[in-house]
Amino acid sequence: MKKTLTHLKVLSFLLFLPIVAWSQTKVSGKVVDVKGQGIPFVTVVEQGASNGTTTDENGNFQFSVSQLPATIVASYIGFETKKVTVNSASAITITLKEESVGLDEVVVTGNRAKPRTVLDSPVPIDNIGVQELKQSGQDTFDQMLVYKVPSFNSANQAISDATAHFDPADLRGLGPSRTLVLVNGKRKNQSAQIYLNGTPGKGEVGIDLKSIPTAAIKNVEVLRDGASAQYGSDAIAGVINIILKDKSEYTEVSAKTGITAEGDGFNFGTDINATFGLGDEGTVNFTAAYYTQQLTNRAGTPGVRDLPANPQQNWVDWATENPDLGMIVGQPDLTKKDFFVNITYPISDDVEFYTFHGYTQRDGRSFAYYRAPYWRGDVEASEFLTPAGSFQGYHPTFEVDVQDNMSSAGLKFILGGFNTDLSITYGRNSVDYTVNRSVNRDYLADHGWSPRTFHPGGYAFSNVISNLDFSRTFSDMVSAYFGFETKRDMYDAFEGDPFSYYGGGSDSFAGIKPSEAGSWSRTSFATYVGLDFDITKAFLLGGAIRYEDFSDFGSNTSWKLNGRYKIGENAALRASASTGFRAPSLHQRYITLSQYIIVPGFADPQLQGTLANDDPAVVALGVPNLTAETSDNYSFGVTAKLAKNLSFSADIYNIKVKDRVLFSSQIKSIDGNLDGSDQVEQILLDNNVLALQFFINAVNTKTTGADIVLDYSNIPLGNGKFGASLSMNFNNTKIDGAVSNPPILEAGGYEIFNRREAGRITDARPKSKILLGLNYKTDKFNVALNNTSFGEVTVFDDVDPNLDQVHSSKIVTDLILGYNFNEKFSVSVNANNLFDVYPDVLDENLRSAGGRFLYSSEVTQMGFKGANYSLNFNFKF
């Protein structure tokens, strides 16, 4: 019986074989480059089927397709993937174009008249694809930029209230406020949070870069030059333009998970990106993403050394059992959800409708200083939390609900021969606070009990921007652009619950009082015009001018001149000179609040007040009203394509910023005896705080630096391609001139902007950053080895230069190993900070709150998470 069945199977196969052979067609041909030379080892497959092969050493291929006509897909590392529909079985020629590399890439940022290649652009621009970003191995978009753009810096900030959930970021060490961020060329709204704690970027407002999922990004263009004359306020250090995906060949799903070498900081993320048709020619690109991370803890362990004289026994027992004194110092808990959609729809041959929308919601939990039992004797005495003699303190949490959304819609059409773009953009960022595991000490004293959970309120910032932009290329020599913009900014401070601001407020973060809550707005109008004149094929000269008028402080006119001179076909000299400005943010003009913070001279956190710049008490001190910052920006560079796959660029720059808007020093009693003996102490008493800060036009600064980039890519090696890149930034910021101290403060011995605050803007970011990246790719396997050197930073003492501490430069090594099982499924393993490198440990005299911090939160290199590992999956279908 078994033999009979075997015979039937063989017979069935022989009968079916001719049908199979008849239904498939052999096709043959050759894959060549643009010069007609055959390309070996190219993957050639039939779309939608498993049929396929690879080309031989001469680029020839032959395989069977299901039927004719058929769609064939040819792909190879270093070349653009190409689809062709074939109707004949032989003599098929498929021409692949090399992927744009380095100076041949076309960019739009900074070139409002017409797109130019990086080589042809008169200003330095980086163009970074999403795959290159992912190759950094980092978890979030902002950290990917840190390890791909040498002049960009950002790191997580611990024990810094809401700042811990936003991570201040900047270009060229000029602070978060002086980098303009665009999405698809449209201005991104600022965050609602202003950075008030002792971190880099203190007193400034940035963009919430965590609100943009990497899966939605096509590429990022980084303009490393002042551009206020083209884009308006904030573009002093440069412009980051995030280009969203508009169409994708596959639906792509990614998932990743990771953990640190210490066993904490577990994270998991997943996302999906897909493109759908809309009508005959429209497209809808959709992204959904989810990411969650757990806290890390790198607290110091001062233990019993922190105890006061003659401690109670329960304090000794607690400090012995908890040498870290209950502290959690590291990255916060975080859960984030993103939804993005990018839509284009051609209405006619000359009219296109576009719109994109993004929404991000994230919950975060960070930790305040642990309230040690000997810090809160009043709470112990109340016996509210524990019986007498067993009090162990409490640990307030700082929790946030951050929401960010951006929507833009517009029409692109031809009007009078001009390319016209009419658009409206709305953006909003909000943050709502919750304090848990705390008490209100004043309410407890007055009523014998206190809530443990408080809702201190929150903030929101939004804007509505209308743009009408025109551009036209009149000839090979002349192109021009002009446009108009109206903008309305809105800032809201939301009142907290009454328990959160009763007396001194909830311990760790006091609620926003009714007198501190409110809504503020301003409007602005701008017009600009620019001209690019290709005097010869080699010599380009361009210029722009922009006038902007704000309802709350006046107007500004910025200008820019730039030029480029090509030396042959593969090299160029470039230079630019421009002025810029930055309007004080509404946050900086109007925020008023109280918060618990470490005040020098006190062991435990004390209540500090922030008053608006126009508050009568601040005006009485002789502090002038805030005005706009202005800047002068000069740069000169050379760029060259030294060989087919080797490019080089070097640019030097000088940026002078006048009247930088920053947070003042802590104004507190000189002798520690707050008795109202002078006008300053009386203001402190009137506001029930031990220290006071406010916003001022603090200083003028001068920043000089250089950017150097060397890229060697797509080099054939064995069965794959090798690439190497070396990019460097060197910068130095100095205070230009003396700090102006109002006479009232000067007479009382107070400093409005002391050396510690000055050091925060000159030495808190690395003076240099060098990135060396090596990678090798084959059809199946890829490996990347990245080394990043973070230069020196300095922690300043308030008064004594001998107590300053220079933190030495550090090198962080990242290793990424990837394997492609097929064109639709790949896996990679990342080891970030492979050798577990940490910043220098703080000197004892600089350790905040008795040694609870091993690493400084006032300066930033690469953070202090240590080595971490992740596993990544990518599916396409």
Could you read off the pLDDT of 10-30 as tens digits, one per residue?
434 333 333 333 346 889 999
How much is the average pLDDT of 238-242?
A: 95
Give the three-class secondary structure for 75.
Answer: strand
Helix (H) or strand (E) holding 189: none
How much is the average pLDDT of 309-338?
A: 94
Residue 621: is it exposed, middle or buried by C-beta count within 10 angstroms (0-12/13-18/19+)?
buried
Give CA–CA dist 863/837, Å, rounded. Answer: 10
The pLDDT confidence band at residue 6, using thresholds 50, 70 and 90, is very low
Given a cut of 70, whether residue 401 has pLDDT beyond it is: yes
Residue 688 — left, alpha, or beta (φ > 0 → left; ψ -120 to 50 → alpha)?
left
The pLDDT confidence band at residue 653, using thresholds 50, 70 and 90, is very high
| pLDDT of 484 | 98
Write out pLDDT tens, residues 76-87.
766 777 889 988
Least confident of 364-368, 640-644, 684-688: 684-688
The pLDDT confidence band at residue 7, using thresholds 50, 70 and 90, is very low
Given a cut of 70, whether residue 585 has pLDDT beyond it is: yes
CA distances to 129, 198, 510, 692, 763 from 592, in Å: 42, 17, 12, 11, 28
| pLDDT of 13 | 39
Nearest to 161 by CA among 369, 373, 359: 369
Q: What's the gap between Cα 720 and its chain centre?
A: 33
Sign of CA dihedral 500, 503, 507, 511: positive
Give CA–CA dist 193/362, Å, rounded. Answer: 14
Give CA–CA dist 207/210, Å, rounded. Answer: 9
The pLDDT confidence band at residue 695, using thresholds 50, 70 and 90, is very high
pTM of the predicted structure, to 2 decimals: 0.88
Give CA–CA dist 563/811, Å, rounded. Answer: 37
CB 329 within 8 A of CB 352: no
Q: Choose between 54 and 9: higher pLDDT.
A: 54
Least confident of 20-29, 510-519, 790-799, 868-877: 20-29
Least confident of 125-139, 598-612, 724-738, 792-806: 598-612
Q: pLDDT exceeding 90 applies to what percent of the chain?
A: 65
How much is the average pLDDT of 257-278?
A: 96
Task: Count, in order, helices (H) and strands (E) of the chain.
Answer: 13, 43
Q: Choose between 553 and 535: higher pLDDT.
A: 535
Given a cut of 50, whether residue 397 has pLDDT beyond it is: yes
How much is the average pLDDT of 178-188?
A: 96
Nearest to 86 by CA among 45, 42, 56: 45
Give the three-class secondary structure for 589.
Answer: helix
Give CA–CA dist 10/683, Å, rounded. Answer: 99
Give CA–CA dist 151/788, Å, rounded. Answer: 12
Query: What's the token pair of residue 731?
Result: 């910068």
Q: Where are the alpha helices (DSSP H) in 148-224?
A: none
Given a cut of 80, whether residue 532 has pLDDT beyond it is: yes
| pLDDT of 4 | 42
CB 392 within 8 A of CB 375: no
Give CA–CA dist 43/54, Å, rounded. Answer: 5
Q: Letter for the amino acid at 756?
A: R
The pLDDT confidence band at residue 99, using thresholds 50, 70 and 90, is low
Residue 802: is it exposed, middle or buried by C-beta count within 10 angstroms (0-12/13-18/19+)?
exposed
The pLDDT confidence band at residue 528, using thresholds 50, 70 and 90, is very high
Given a cut of 70, whether residue 384 has pLDDT beyond it is: yes
Give CA–CA dist 433/436, Å, rounded. Answer: 10
Sheet hosting strand 25-32, strand order edge to edge? 60-65, 25-32, 92-95
Give CA–CA dist 469/463, Å, rounded. Answer: 19
Least confident of 162-176, 179-193, 560-574, 765-779: 162-176
| pLDDT of 50 | 60
CB 868 within 8 A of CB 265: yes
CA distances to 159, 169, 779, 816 from 782, in Å: 39, 31, 8, 8
Q: Choose between 13 and 833: higher pLDDT.
A: 833
Given a cut of 60, whether residue 8 has pLDDT beyond it is: no
Helix (H) or strand (E) holding 680: helix 679-686
Q: Letter for the amino acid at 589?
A: R
| pLDDT of 1 | 44
Give CA–CA dist 288/290, Å, rounded. Answer: 7
Give CA–CA dist 208/807, Å, rounded. Answer: 28
Least confident of 197-211, 389-403, 701-715: 197-211
Sheet hosting strand 125-129, strand order edge to edge? 125-129, 217-223, 238-244, 179-183, 186-187
| pLDDT of 10 | 40
Sign of CA dihedral 712, 169, 175, 633: positive
Q: Letter for the amino acid at 305?
A: R
Give CA–CA dist 850/857, Å, rounded. Answer: 15
| pLDDT of 103 | 60
Cβ count near 500 (within 10 Å): 26
- Percent helix, strand, coil in the chain, to 5, is 15, 45, 40
Residue with tokens 């810094």: 160
Give CA–CA dist 299/136, Å, rounded. Answer: 27
Query: What's the token pair of residue 493?
Result: 């401070």
Residue 839 — left, alpha, or beta (φ > 0 → left; ψ -120 to 50 → alpha)?
beta
CB 860 within 8 A of CB 154: yes
How much is the average pLDDT of 157-182?
A: 86
Given a cut of 90, whether residue 813 has pLDDT beyond it is: yes
Whole-number average pLDDT of the chain: 89
| pLDDT of 681 | 86
Q: Choose between 720 and 18: higher pLDDT.
A: 720
Q: Give backbone dihedrals phi and psi of 823, rounded to 5 degrees, phi first.
A: -70, -10
- The C-alpha angle with vertex 106 and arms to 100 and 110, in degrees rounded to 5, equals 145
Given a cut of 80, whether residue 405 has pLDDT beyond it is: yes
- The C-alpha angle with vertex 674 and arms to 673 and 680, in degrees rounded to 5, equals 125
Given a cut of 80, whether residue 762 has pLDDT beyond it is: yes
Write out pLDDT tens, residues 454-488.
999 999 999 999 999 999 989 889 999 999 999 99
CB 771 within 8 A of CB 728: yes
Q: Give backbone dihedrals phi and psi of 522, rounded to 5 degrees, phi first.
A: -155, 160
| pLDDT of 104 | 61
| pLDDT of 849 | 60
Residue 36 — left, alpha, or beta (φ > 0 → left; ψ -120 to 50 → alpha)?
left
Least confident of 99-103, 442-446, 849-853: 99-103
CB 815 within 8 A of CB 784: yes
Backbone Cα Rg of the chain? 30
The pLDDT confidence band at residue 101, using thresholds 50, 70 and 90, is low
Given a cut of 60, whether residue 599 has pLDDT beyond it is: yes
Give the three-class secondary structure for 538.
Answer: coil
